[in-house]
Structure 1
Amino acid sequence: MAALEEGFTLTAVPLGSGPDGPLGVEQSDKTDQFLVTDSGRTVILYKVSDQKPLGSWSVKQGQIITCPAVCNFQTGEYIVVHDNKVLRIWNNEDVNLDKVFKATLSAEVYRIHSIQGTEPLVLFKEGAIRGLEALLAEPQQKIETVISEEEVIKWTKFFMVFRHPVLIFITEKHGNYFAYVQKFNSRILSKYTLLLGQEEKSVTQSFSTSVHRKFISLMSLSSDGCVYETLIPVHPSDPEKNQRVVRSLLLKSVVSGNARSGVALTILDQDHVAVLGPPLSASKECLSIWNTKFQTLQTSKELPQGTSGQLWYHGENLFMLHGKFLTVIPYKCEVSSLAGALGKLKHSQDPDIHAMTHFVNWETSQGYGLGSQNSEQSKRILRRRKIEVSVQPEVPPSIQLLAAVQKDSEKHIEVELRKFLAVKRTPDFHTIIGDVVIGILGRYKAEPSFYPRNCLMQLIQTRVLSYSLCPGLMESALEKTDVQILQICLQQFPDIPESVTCACLKIFLSIGDDSLQETDINMESVSDYTATIQDGEIEQQTEILQNGFNPEEDNCENCAQELIEKPQAATEESTSCPVTGKRAALLNAILHSAYSETFLLPHLKDIPAQHITIMDWICLLLDANFTVVVMIPEAKRLLLSLYKFVKSQISICSELNKIEVSFRELQKLNQEKTNRELYSIEVLELF
């Protein structure tokens, strides 16, 4: 299984003044700090845990940054290129980029790469590669041309293979794609022609790579919405010969084939990829995680404000431009298994299987130890970044977290919570989580303004809580009308009292549609048949208007007479849909929760009268379980009652249609009579 957590906005000012959004997000020499390069003139250093900038540098008016800024991990300095050829190097103490070190190069730069364990590399637009030190020693040295004429670099990546740096870049020429692999231990540049598979008939829009023993896995997201994989050997048999490799279909239809922009792909681990783009069934863009081993969608998150089609992956965080602001969405992936891929992994029933916490947490790497070090994913990330932690905390993270809850700010509590969730779980893990929630709720009662919602969401998502372990949690969420937390609690807590369930039902029925529209709600329970319901409603309305009431059929005169005698009951029925998709998802959480009918019945009497009949909710239930309802004997009486009720409604609608037609005819006659009594005077002016 994989999960996307609650995201947060990193930048306080809009980014992406250019057409393609930010140029890049790169890690600095501090594990919690990142360089964000705007597509205009600015580079900003952010600290993720504090969600605030630590420094900002801009080139002067008339200049433009053409390459993402990176950090030289060997010196701690920052490097950027503006106007294609001018290279700048500075550090945290520098204020004005115009006064820092400057080197004008003889050829245009495509990208500067820098990773832990080696010096930065400069990739020129013509395909040549130079080490930073050699380039600074002679900035005006001649740069050779590697790629052919009209061949353009589309994507590039720098990584370590068996402790040796390797750079790969992809080029395109007349619709054909080529991969160049430069191994710096042998100084050999290998070229590969990427052949289209039999299924692929489209343009490639995004690339990502990972290393698996003897092969480099190159994945590509094409304009047909599918993900393809190409395996490039780490040790080619004939490295100096132009070799051919075929792309094979890996995932089918992960995004809409109509999406011409706004799509991106990145590999998270050997079994999971993150995809940015609109899914097949929606027009809005989404961030989703797919399991490549079992070819299943694990989780997705809608991005209503749109993106720039850029996705960066660093450790446990995904970075993207949502609207005009850079957004960080933490995620987690479990070790791939069939049960996990199908969403059937039951953590609570197997004491040896626990929900996966963050496999790398930026805050915990600052002297507190990295959690989940037994997972292959965290080991791979640690090897890649060469993070070495030798200092052990004097105070356990659980004690620090409990102490922070009592007095510190919400942001600091989030940091301490991430530290705690990153360490290996102990037998008393669920007890500590319960104590933390109780501490937060106790402080909330004393300080009503204190409501660390993000912390509560992370605590609930550990899947170890229950109502009896933190009885005040749902009551606080009811006070705050926090329907998202209530929905998750209903889905996870097995021991919710019926009175609380009914209180949730009242909130779900009474909350306004505007508030629901702005709330992030899990829509999995209604996403499968929403389209079917809408189509059915349109067809049903058309049938009523066309056919009306057939007098030859049994018209249930008693029901019709009763409703005619009480016209108010008929007028109170709304012809529009009173239950939106999000409200339906919340109501489904009520239906799926554990409750006893005997104890639930007394509390249902408190439901307001206007909320007792929710016809569209019944329609959702019937559409979702139509075959079962038709077949079971217990439902026969219900179906007969509904049949009579529907026929009575058809009778009323038929009579109303007749009245409507009569009124229209009278209105036409009245309009014709009025028009005959009118006259007009037209004035012509001659010049």
Structure 2
Amino acid sequence: MAALRDGLFLANLPSENSLLGVEQSNTEDCVVVTCKTGFIKSYKLSDQKLLQSWSISHGSRISSPAVWNEQRQQLFTVDNKQVIKIWTNDQKNFEKAHKKRVKSEVFCVVSEEGFEPVVVCEKGKVDFFSKIKGSSSEEKFEEGEITHWCRSFKCRGNQCLVLISETKDKLCRIHYFQYQADGQQWMHKVAAPRQLNGISSVASCCLSKKQDPTLLLLTQNGDILECGLGLSKNTEDLVTLATVNIQQDASIVAVGLSHVAIAGIKNDRTYGLGIFDIKFRTLLVWKPFPEPVSAKPKLFCQHSCLFLTCSRNLYTFPYECEQSTLIKFLGQQQKVADITEKDTLVGMVMWSAKTKLNKSSQARSNENIAALLSDLVNREKTQTLSDFKVLFDSLVKELRKSINKIWVASAQMSELVKRCFQETKFWPRNQISQLVENSLISTREIPALFDALIAHKEVALLHLSLNILPDIPESSLVSCLQCYLGFSDEDIGAVIDGSEDIPSFPNTYDHVACNISAPKAHFINKVLDMPYSDVFLVEYLRNLKFQNTLVLLEYLLYLLKLPRDKCVGEIQSMPAFLKVIDWISLLLDTNLSQMVVSPDAKVLLIHLDKAVTEQVQLYDQFVSLSATLCHMHSLATVPTNKKVGHYWIEVLHVL
């Protein structure tokens, strides 16, 4: 009747309470994740890939989740409750988004397929985006009444809204809006349910997935209440559908006609995420939280996936729901009973199995890996490096098999990797080296890996990670640069201790001086040559110390002046010429004001200007030469006779 797959990591959040919403994007498999500060990002769900990111400038505070409107092919959000921002998926700079200021404070912008966006104001004023500025609609709230929750839906071809507010007397009110296309006006109905003792008694609420949606409210004591929505329906009395055992702050979303997902539902003595059948009043499937939850867990549902916040991370849980029947219910009832007696570590998802396997041998292999991971994570069983090494070597031997690679993204493996980075009794350098060499570190653990290696001054392992691991985030690249530039030329040679094969790198080349040593240049070149997104890199380059920025710019000037035809073969690790230009541009953009006022940067800027001017003059000459050669090539081309049939006309000369 219901299946809930294991959680997959989707994104890091700026803070525990920063997430505003997860909304549909312009394609089936994509969602838009909005945070109050930091960013708005678009993700592809099938592979958890980041598609687009828009940075929010310092001082701005997003107050409404970004929503996609199919009719206008644009994204809409609200900045500081005053300014509506509109932009497209192709527009990279969020600050250049089109702005529309509204006199009233805006609570949110909502969007439904087939309709233009609807703007909902704090005081109950509701109208379409194109009409909100000159709208004649009145504010529906009493003085001191505050909006707490709002959702939109389509019912029988009509655009509808439901708002939950709290009056100054602490009464909870439900507002229902429906747009009448014939009269081109919004109809409004309000009710104050008698069962609710103020908004504080409501833990969470959502809309059901019925043909005529109803409002579902989860109270703090675990009651699931239903309220009919419509101009002719009674919303004064609420119907109690079921009672569940929840933590004080829980969240609810509808996932089926008679199914709801609840974050914070209790099973035995543990709270987690579960799917509850309202019709038969039973918990169908349950999973523990992937991480400890200290704040109220936020829960969203899009494209048959649940999105759950745990600490500062966002996880996605694919799910399936079937219509509830008595036969299915009787067969499902025992499945959740003893779930907490099993290992609470989150298991693995096998997305596909193209290779035919011996099921019993694969099952034994999985059990062996799970046991090894459990022992390695348990500090009491592996208190010394020697004990840890024996089990770790056995685990790596198993994980080298291609069929077991799926364990790399598991929560158990994540716990082991974190222990390797955070262990205080010993430093498992060789074990971390094996993780890197065999690509047994998932993408989400890469920032923690680089932080740990930098803290232990493992320059050789940093370089190894840059060579082997894919998709290294821009924050880690900048941290690497900070680390390399922070070492003195003598220290970096001592740290390497012969473990790196450093190519010959002249300190001077044709009277061009290099300001850093060959070993340091070798490591920095690798970072400069890594793939990156300039949008993210600019954000993290602000964390680079200004003195290090000057040293790096001076070294980039040295690379810019080097004769490329002579030194490329001699200096194999040298980054591409275009990469050098890109890095110079990014560093100057990031430190524009400091570069202008700092006396230390004055001479460097003069040399940079001179070097760039020389390059521009050279390429200008190439452009002129290219035009001349193109003209000569066209004149030297032997004309070919084009015969069409037996007769043709040619223009020999035009006076």
Could you state the TM-score of these two structures normalised by the residue count of structure 2?
0.51
The question of 1:185 aligning with 2:176 is answered no
Displacement of 1:111 in angstroms is 0.8
**Matched residue, 1:285:** 271
Tell me the distance in 1 between the aligned counterparts of 2:108 and 2:64.
6
- Give the counterpart of 2:309 among 313, 318, 321: 321
The question of 1:5 aligning with 2:2 is answered no
Task: Map 1:149-168 to 2 at 5 A.
Answer: 149-168=143-162
Whether the 8 Å CA contact 1:70–1:80 is kept in 2: the answer is yes
Tell me the distance in 2 between the aligned counterparts of 1:53 and 1:20.
21
- The secondary structure found in structure 2 opposite 1:245 is coil
Whether the 8 Å CA contact 1:254–1:275 is kept in 2: the answer is no
- The secondary structure found in structure 1 opposite 2:214 is strand
- Give the counterpart of 1:118 among 115, 120, 129: 115
1:253-289 deviation digits (Å, cap 9, x = unpaired): 3314xx1x3x11111112111111152753x531111
- The secondary structure found in structure 2 opposite 1:301 is strand
The question of 1:269 aligning with 2:267 is answered no
Q: Aligned-pair RMSD on alpha carbons? A: 3.3
Tell me the distance in 1 between the aligned counterparts of 2:111 and 2:200.
32
- Give the counterpart of 1:84 among 64, 81, 84: 81
State the one-letter code of the partner of 1:9.
Answer: F
Tell me the distance in 2 between the aligned counterparts of 1:222 and 1:169.
17
Tell me the distance in 2 between the aligned counterparts of 1:346 and 1:221.
25
Displacement of 1:180 in angstroms is 1.6
Tell me the distance in 2 between the aligned counterparts of 1:72 and 1:199.
36
- Give the counterpart of 1:101 among 81, 98, 103: 98
Tell me the distance in 2 between the aligned counterparts of 1:211 and 1:76.
26
**Matched residue, 2:405:** none
Matched pairs, number: 361
Tell me the distance in 1 between the aligned counterparts of 2:373 and 2:13.
29
1:69-128 deviation digits (Å, cap 9, x = unpaired): 111212322111111111111112222222221121111110111122211111111111
- Give the counterpart of 1:145 among 131, 139, 151: 139
Whether the 8 Å CA contact 2:228–2:235 is kept in 1: the answer is no
Tell me the distance in 1 between the aligned counterparts of 2:368 and 2:220.
47
State the one-letter code of the partner of 2:225.
Answer: Y
**Matched residue, 1:26:** 23
State the one-letter code of the partner of 2:2.
Answer: A
- The secondary structure found in structure 1 opposite 2:314 is strand
Return closer, same or farther for 1:483/1:184 CA change in 2, 3 Å cut-off. farther
Return closer, same or farther for 1:338/1:52 CA change in 2, 3 Å cut-off. same
Tell me the distance in 2 between the aligned counterparts of 1:79 and 1:64.
14
1:354-388 deviation digits (Å, cap 9, x = unpaired): xxxxxxxxxxxxxxxxxxxxxxxxxxxxxxxxxxx
The question of 1:333 aligning with 2:321 is answered yes
Task: Map 1:533-548 to 2 at 5 A.
Answer: none
Return closer, same or farther for 1:339/1:118 CA change in 2, 3 Å cut-off. same
Structure 1, 190-199 or 119-128: larger mean CA deviation:
190-199
Residue identity (%): 25
The question of 1:196 aligning with 2:194 is answered yes
The question of 1:470 aligning with 2:467 is answered no
Return closer, same or farther for 1:50/1:244 CA change in 2, 3 Å cut-off. closer
Displacement of 1:472 in angstroms is 3.5
Return closer, same or farther for 1:5/1:482 CA change in 2, 3 Å cut-off. farther
Displacement of 1:30 in angstroms is 0.7
**Matched residue, 2:232:** 236
Whether the 8 Å CA contact 2:217–2:224 is kept in 1: the answer is yes
- The secondary structure found in structure 2 opposite 1:224 is coil
Task: Map 1:462-611 to 2 at 5 A.
Answer: 470-481=359-370
**Matched residue, 1:294:** 280
State the one-letter code of the partner of 2:237.
Answer: V
**Matched residue, 2:509:** none
- The secondary structure found in structure 1 opposite 2:53 is strand
Displacement of 1:518 in angstroms is 7.0
Tell me the distance in 2 between the aligned counterparts of 1:220 and 1:252.
11
1:286-321 deviation digits (Å, cap 9, x = unpaired): 111111111111111111421643111113100111
Return closer, same or farther for 1:305/1:50 CA change in 2, 3 Å cut-off. same
Tell me the distance in 2 between the aligned counterparts of 1:48 and 1:344.
28
Unaligned stretches of 5+ residues in structure 1: 238-242, 348-409, 418-432, 442-468, 486-506, 508-516, 521-687
Return closer, same or farther for 1:143/1:20 CA change in 2, 3 Å cut-off. farther
State the one-letter code of the partner of 1:245.
Answer: E
Whether the 8 Å CA contact 2:205–2:217 is kept in 1: the answer is yes
The question of 1:245 aligning with 2:236 is answered yes
Tell me the distance in 1 between the aligned counterparts of 2:206 and 2:258.
13
Structure 1, 123-132 or 50-59: larger mean CA deviation:
50-59
